[in-house]
């Protein structure tokens, strides 16, 4: 169902979409007590996640990844822009109106330990959303459902009476996933779900997420600071820098197709196993500017080796299609098809 006010990013295959979405947090207070500035956490992001796909969201710490994930789920209020879910605008829905949709949008966190109540048993943790959303009629049904969910995530039903501290990090993440699955969601924001885990366990959790996606038709926004993981796990990748998406492209072959100088700098640090050529890592000079005082023009220009004086430092590059499924915000992108990632 499409209305005239919907942007073109809302297509039938789109499950969730952001249109010009932004978030300003009140910044530090000055000594006389008034707010002196804002944290520009997310600055007008447009993206969409298709049904059954994984969109990877990559960027350095503090660039706004978690804030964007929470905006999409309406866990925090946007300062501007719009959010669409399943063809319907949800930006201004009240909590009551959102209730039936809440069930369909879930989140998995980086640190499963801090997101699981230590005083609740695994059974209680997984049963809680079932009760809140009235998805089971009685205790027997609840027991059956919790048992089924544990098995779905590779845990044993006998583990039900145990507490979170009795589990390993990987098992706790599985409990977090079971809790998210309890309400039969369509969309899950996976916010750095493997970053806190041992490398040996990371692949197991990625495999689980991938199997669940195939069997349940789930859509993921997969947030990570590790481009190596994302380019192998996601179908498409969005690169975020200081509140902006600077490039979005298919994950497959992105070593060859990426054109934004920032994406290429990130890629240059990833071992290029499948392209048969060696390259030197591009060292990003300077610090990420403060989101309290983002630079004018392109946010990346102070660190960009391809920046054009008088253009990139004054004008904001539009986020435009450059190839099918490939969008870019850059006035002077590197040519496509070269693996020599140095500019
Ligand atoms: N509730 C808040 N109040 C004020 N500032 C906030 C709040 N939440 C986030 N921020 C700021 O917004 C910016 C983006 O934060 P966010 O947590 O979204 O980044 P991130 O990309 O998820 O980082 P990380 O990789 O470290 O998780 C940061 O500068 C952060 O300090
Ligand atoms: Mg985060």
- 228-252 confidence digits (pLDDT tens): 999 999 999 999 999 999 999 999 9
Taking CB atoms within 8 Å and a gap of at least 24, the contacts of 6-11 are 6/84, 6/87, 6/89, 7/46, 7/82, 9/46, 9/47, 9/48, 9/84, 10/48, 10/84, 10/87, 11/48
Assign 3-state DSSP to the chain and report helix, strand, coil percentages, each to 5.
Answer: 30, 20, 50
This prediction has a pTM of: 0.92
Task: Using the mean position of ligand 2's atoms as its centre, give its distance from the Cα of residue 239 in Å.
Answer: 14
CA of 144 to the centre of ligand 2 (A): 35
Q: How long is the chain? A: 343
Cα(2) to centroid of ligand 2, in Å? 33
What distance in Å separates the CA atoms of residue 256 and residue 274, rounded to the nearest whole number?
10
> Do 263 and 246 form a contact (C-beta atoms < 8 A)?
yes
pLDDT at 55: 98
Probe ligand 1: pick from 18, 22, 59, 66, max atoms within 8 Å of CB? 66
What gap in Å lies between CA 139 and CA 133, rounded to an integer?
15
Per the listing, tokens 């809140």 go with: 132
pLDDT tens digits for range 112-143: 778 899 999 999 999 999 999 999 999 999 99
Distance (angstroms) between ligand 2 centre and the Cα of 65 equals 5
What residues line ligand 1, using a CB cutoff of 6 Å?
25, 39, 41, 59, 61-67, 225, 291
- Which atom of ligand 1 is the closest one to the Cα of 25? 4
What per-residue confidence (pLDDT) applies to 30? Answer: 55
| Atom 24 (ligand 1) nearest CA | 61
- The single residue listed with the structure tokens 């099918």 is 324
User: pLDDT at position 336, please?
Assistant: 77
d(CA 42, CA 25) in angstroms, rounded, equals 9
List helix spans (H) across the chain. 65-72, 95-102, 112-115, 122-132, 139-152, 169-181, 199-216, 227-233, 254-257, 261-268
Residue 292 CA: nearest ligand 1 atom is 29
Contact by Cβ (8 Å): 255, 271: no
Spans of the chain below 50 pLDDT? 1-4, 275-276, 343
- At 36 the pLDDT is 58
pLDDT of residue 340: 55
* Cα–Cα dist 259/320, whole Å: 13
Pocket test for ligand 1, best of 23, 41, 225 (most atoms within 8 A of CB): 41
Residue 73 Cα to ligand 2 middle (Å): 14
- Count the neighbouring beta carbons within 10 Å of the beta carbon of residue 167: 19
DSSP three-state, residue 28: coil
């Amino acid at each position: 169902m499409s209305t005239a006010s919907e942007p073109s990013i809302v297509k039938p295959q789109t499950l969730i979409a952001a249109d010009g979405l932004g978030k300003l947090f009140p910044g530090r207070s000055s000594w006389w007590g008034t707010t002196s500035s804002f944290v520009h956490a997310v600055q007008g992001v447009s993206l969409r996640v298709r049904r059954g796909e994984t969109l990877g969201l990559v960027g350095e710490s503090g660039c706004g990844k978690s804030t964007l994930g929470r905006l999409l789920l309406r866990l925090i209020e946007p300062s501007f822009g719009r959010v669409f879910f399943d063809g319907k605008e949800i930006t201004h829905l009240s909590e009551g109106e959102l209730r039936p949709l809440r069930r369909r949008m879930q989140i998995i966190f980086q640190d499963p330990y801090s997101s699981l109540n230590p005083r609740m048993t695994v059974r209680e943790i997984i049963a809680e959303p079932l009760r809140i959303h009235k998805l089971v009629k009685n205790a027997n049904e609840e027991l059956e459902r919790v048992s089924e969910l544990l098995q779905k995530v590779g845990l044993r039903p006998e583990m039900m009476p145990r507490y979170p501290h009795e589990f390993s990090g990987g098992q706790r993440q599985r409990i977090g996933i079971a809790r998210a699955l309890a309400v039969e969601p369509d969309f899950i924001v996976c916010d750095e779900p493997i970053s806190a885990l041992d490398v040996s366990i990371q692949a197991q959790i990625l495999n689980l997420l991938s199997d669940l996606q195939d069997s349940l038709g789930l859509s993921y926004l997969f947030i990570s600071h590790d481009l190596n993981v994302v380019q192998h796990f996601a179908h498409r990748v969005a690169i975020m820098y200081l509140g902006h998406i600077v490039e979005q492209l298919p994950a497959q072959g992105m070593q060859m197709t990426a054109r934004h100088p920032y994406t290429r700098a990130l890629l240059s640090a990833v071992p290029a196993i499948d392209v048969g050529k060696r390259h030197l890592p591009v060292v990003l000079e300077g610090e990420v500017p403060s989101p309290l005082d983002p630079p004018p023009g392109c946010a990346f220009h102070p660190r960009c080796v391809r920046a054009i004086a008088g253009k990139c430092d004054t004008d904001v590059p539009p986020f435009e299609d450059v190839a099918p499924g490939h969008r870019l915000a850059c006035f002077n992108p590197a040519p496509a098809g070269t693996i020599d990632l140095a500019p």
